[in-house]
């Protein structure tokens, strides 16, 4: 075995033993998916032993990678962490393919990796993932509606504190309205838990409202406050679209571009409307 191939196999060993520990830890935190995760952890350990038989060396797992995925699972949930691991499985298949002609038995490992992906897709049972649609509805509506409203109010009122208060009242009322609409909609569809769907929608809307109006209570100039709101909105879009794109396997760039275009497009139109209203009605606050 040449040095280059040996180094590559040692890296395979480290990846396998690292993923073995990650899946074991995730299994401890997942009631519904524990058995599948433990089975995948066993497969990863078997793969590690397969590579170890060739090198004759034991390799320590990547503790940093283990901590990273466990941290991700705490913040975004086990499902998100699993999907991130699944993306790594695809990369592993590509790497294994490079040594296919040099090492016997690689085809069996590649087949296992494919089965991992299928099992992972079927096993996902996590509450927050079941309500992604409700969260998307709440966050998207809040971004589009409140960003537009704040842009219009900013020029019409030209007062950061007053704009923030009006935005808060408007946002809270809209959050309750959205939650109610989601409840009635889900109930009419005979959804199992319409109340939880409504809660996720309302909570997503409320948190987005608080993020968007915060600059108006921190900054004194209304233009800077509006810029702060737009930046906060862009940050919210980035985080949420990244989460949804990973979990639902969608294109991040396309989803991000669509949400950003809608929010900022409506904000621009609303800003012009606010300017026209201020001039037409002679608003002077």
| Averaged pLDDT of the chain | 83
Predicted local confidence at residue 246, as pLDDT: 82
Q: Are residues 56 and 137 in the same domain?
A: no
Q: What is the mean pLDDT of residues 245-260?
A: 84
d(CA 131, CA 285): 42
Domain boundary among 125, 140, 156: 125
Q: Could you tell me if 136 and 277 lie in one domain? A: yes
Q: What is the pLDDT of residue 9?
A: 86
75-115 pLDDT, tens digit each: 878 878 888 877 766 666 667 777 766 777 777 777 777 67
Domain that holds residue 251: 131-281
Percent of the chain with pLDDT over 90: 22
Residues 89 and 150 both lie in one domain? no
pLDDT surpassing 80 at residue 274 = no
Verify that 119 and 29 share a domain, yes or no. yes
pLDDT tens per residue, range 8-33 = 889 889 988 998 999 899 888 877 77
Report whether pLDDT(258) > 70.
Answer: yes
Higher pLDDT among residues 83 and 217, named by residue: 217
* Nearby residues of 208 by Cβ (< 8 Å), 6 or more positions away: 138, 139, 142, 143, 146, 236
d(CA 79, CA 82): 5
DSSP class of residue 189 equals T
Select from 108, 125, 142 the last residue of a domain: 125
* In a shared domain, residues 164 and 260: yes
Q: CA separation (Å) from 129 to 7, 16, 23, 77, 197?
A: 39, 27, 19, 9, 11
Same-domain status, 144 and 221: yes
Q: What is the pTM assigned to this prediction?
A: 0.68
Residues 274 and 155 placed together within one structural domain of the fold: yes
Q: How far apart are CA 199 and CA 131, in angstroms?
A: 10
Tokens of 216: 């108006």
Tally of domains within the chain: 2
> Which of 110-114, 162-166, 175-179, 267-271 has the least mean pLDDT?
110-114
Residues 85, 14 within the same domain = yes
Boundary residue ending a domain (105, 125, 145): 125
Same structural domain, 143 and 108 = no
Give me the helices (H) in 103-251, please. 106-123, 127-130, 132-157, 160-188, 194-218, 222-247
Q: Are 44 and 23 in contact (CB under 8 A)?
A: yes
Whether 203 shows a pLDDT value over 60: the answer reads yes
Q: Tell whether 108 and 223 lie within a shared domain.
A: no
């Amino acid at each position: 075995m040449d040095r280059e191939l040996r180094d590559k196999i040692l890296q395979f060993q480290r990846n396998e033993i690292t993923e073995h520990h990650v899946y074991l830890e995730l299994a401890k935190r997942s009631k519904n998916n524990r058995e599948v995760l433990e089975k995948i952890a066993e497969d990863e350990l078997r793969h590690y032993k397969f590579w170890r038989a060739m090198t004759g060396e034991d390799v320590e797992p990547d503790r940093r990678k283990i901590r990273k995925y466990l941290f991700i699972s705490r913040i975004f949930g086990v499902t998100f962490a699993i999907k991130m691991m699944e993306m790594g499985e695809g990369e592993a298949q590509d790497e294994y393919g490079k040594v296919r002609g040099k090492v016997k038995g690689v085809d069996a490992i590649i087949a296992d990796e494919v089965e991992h992906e299928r099992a992972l897709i079927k096993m996902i049972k996590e509450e927050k993932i079941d309500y992604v649609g409700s969260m998307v509805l709440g966050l998207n509506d809040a971004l589009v509606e409140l960003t537009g409203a704040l842009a219009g109010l900013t020029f019409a009122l030209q007062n950061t504190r007053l704009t923030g208060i009006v935005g808060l009242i408007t946002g809270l009322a809209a959050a309750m309205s959205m939650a109610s609409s989601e409840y009635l909609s889900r109930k009419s569809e005979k959804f199992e838990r319409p109340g939880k769907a409504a809660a996720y929608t309302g909570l997503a809307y409320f948190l987005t409202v608080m993020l968007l109006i915060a600059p108006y209570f921190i900054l004194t100039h209304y233009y800077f406050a509006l810029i702060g709101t737009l930046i906060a909105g862009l940050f919210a879009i980035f985080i949420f679209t990244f989460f949804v794109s990973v979990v639902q396997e969608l294109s991040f760039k396309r989803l991000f571009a669509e949400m950003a275009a809608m929010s900022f497009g409506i904000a621009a139109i609303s800003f012009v409307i606010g300017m026209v209203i201020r001039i037409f009605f002679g608003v002077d606050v």
